[in-house]
A = this chain, B = another copy of it.
Amino acid sequence: MSSLLSRIEQNLNRLSEAERKIGEYILEHPELVPNMTTKDLSKNSGVSESSIVRFCKSIGIGSFKSFKLELVKDITLTGMNLTDFDILQKRDEPYDLFQKVTYVNKAAIEATPASLDRKEFEKAVEILSHADKLMFYGVGGSSTAAIDAYYKFTKLGYQCTTNHDFHFLLSAIPYLTEQSVFFAISMSGKTKDVLELSRFAKSQGATVIAITNIDKSPLYKEADIRLCTPVVEQDFRIGSIPSRMTQLTIIDSLYLSIFHSKGEKVIDKYHKARNEVIRLRR
């Protein structure tokens, strides 16, 4: 336990009521405090600003500013940046929401290595390196990942297809072969359209790679390769925001891996495109 926080904890009962409130708030959300003003902290802990200043003196630190500096050191040393989703309890002022989003997105990405199976990932890279056509499909929040993947893999020379229109893809699937890959992107793994296209693609001999929550959903069961995203705390305000981050992280990783495995051949073409971008930018 870090020294400053434990000092606060130990002195908690010796402090006056207002000061104890402050101490309790700090112990709950230490990582938020360094960015706060006295006004913020006074609002959040329900006391006056003057009490904040007195609190600092009570626990032996001369000013609120010094206190914040000490706290940062403490937090940094113990590596406890934004540990709890207590941050979700914050009020919903715009900037609070920004911090909340930052936190959940970071946490979701952090949780990804735990849900993604290494062997499945390597299998996906292996399959992709011999694939010709790729198709990406995701609806709602997952459509962003599909579109992002579409761009990335097109840059690597694959013949890619994606579309929001179910029927459009339906008519393209018959052209898929054993060398093709169908990416089914769905957080829940239950979306009807995604499931139907997956089954159809599979019936054409294509490999179905699912990017879906690690959860025994229909899509999870039916996919050939499962790249699992973590199940993140569902907060109605946050919705599917963090899960899109994890989908993108997986896409990014696949992209880089293929980029790397294709080696020189791609790099040459990639630089051609890149130089053109720079030239056009003037």
| CB of A76, distance to nearest CB on chain B (Å) | 4
Q: Are B252 and A105 in contact (CB under 8 A)?
A: yes
Q: List the B side residues contacting A77 at CB < 8 Å.
A: 76
Question: What CA separation (Å) do A158 and B268 show in the bound complex?
Answer: 42
Contact yes or no, A105 B245, CB < 8 A: yes
A113 touches B109 (CB 8 A): no
Smallest CB–CB gap between A264 and chain B, Å?
A: 14
A144 vs B144: C-alpha distance in the bound complex, in angstroms? Answer: 7
- Verify A102–B112 contact, CB threshold 8 A: yes
- CB pair B94–A102 under 8 Å, yes or no, is no
Question: Per-residue 0/1 for A234-276: is the Cβ within 8 Å of any B Cβ (1 yes, 0 no)?
Answer: 0001100100110011101100110111000000000000000
**How far apart sit A97 and B259, CA to CA, in the bound complex (Å)?**
11
A interface SS class: helix
The 8 Å CB contact of A257, one of B97, B106, B112, B192, is B97
In the complex, chain A residues 52-88 whose Cβ is within 8 Å of any chain B Cβ: 66, 68-69, 72-73, 76-77, 81
Is A94's CB under 8 angstroms from B253's CB?
yes
Question: Given A35-B69, A121-B95, A144-B147, are A109 and B105 neighbors across the interface (CB < 8 Å)?
Answer: yes
Smallest Cβ distance from A2 to chain B, in angstroms?
11
- Give me 24 A-to-B residue pairs in the complex whose CB atoms sit less than 8 angstroms apart, sorted by A's number: A34-B69, A35-B66, A68-B69, A72-B72, A72-B76, A92-B260, A97-B253, A97-B256, A97-B257, A97-B260, A98-B113, A98-B121, A101-B256, A102-B110, A105-B248, A109-B245, A144-B144, A144-B151, A190-B281, A191-B281, A237-B256, A237-B260, A245-B245, A248-B248
20 new A-B contacts at CB < 8 Å, known A98-B250, A101-B253: A35-B69, A69-B69, A69-B72, A94-B122, A94-B257, A98-B121, A98-B257, A99-B113, A100-B256, A101-B249, A102-B113, A105-B109, A106-B110, A109-B109, A109-B245, A143-B151, A192-B282, A237-B259, A241-B252, A241-B256
Residues of chain A whose beta carbon lies under 8 Å from any beta carbon of chain B: 34-35, 66, 68-69, 72-73, 76-77, 81, 92, 94-95, 97-102, 105-106, 109-110, 112-113, 116, 118, 121-122, 125, 140, 143-144, 147-148, 151, 188, 190-192, 237-238, 241, 244-245, 248-250, 252-253, 256-257, 259-261, 277, 280-282
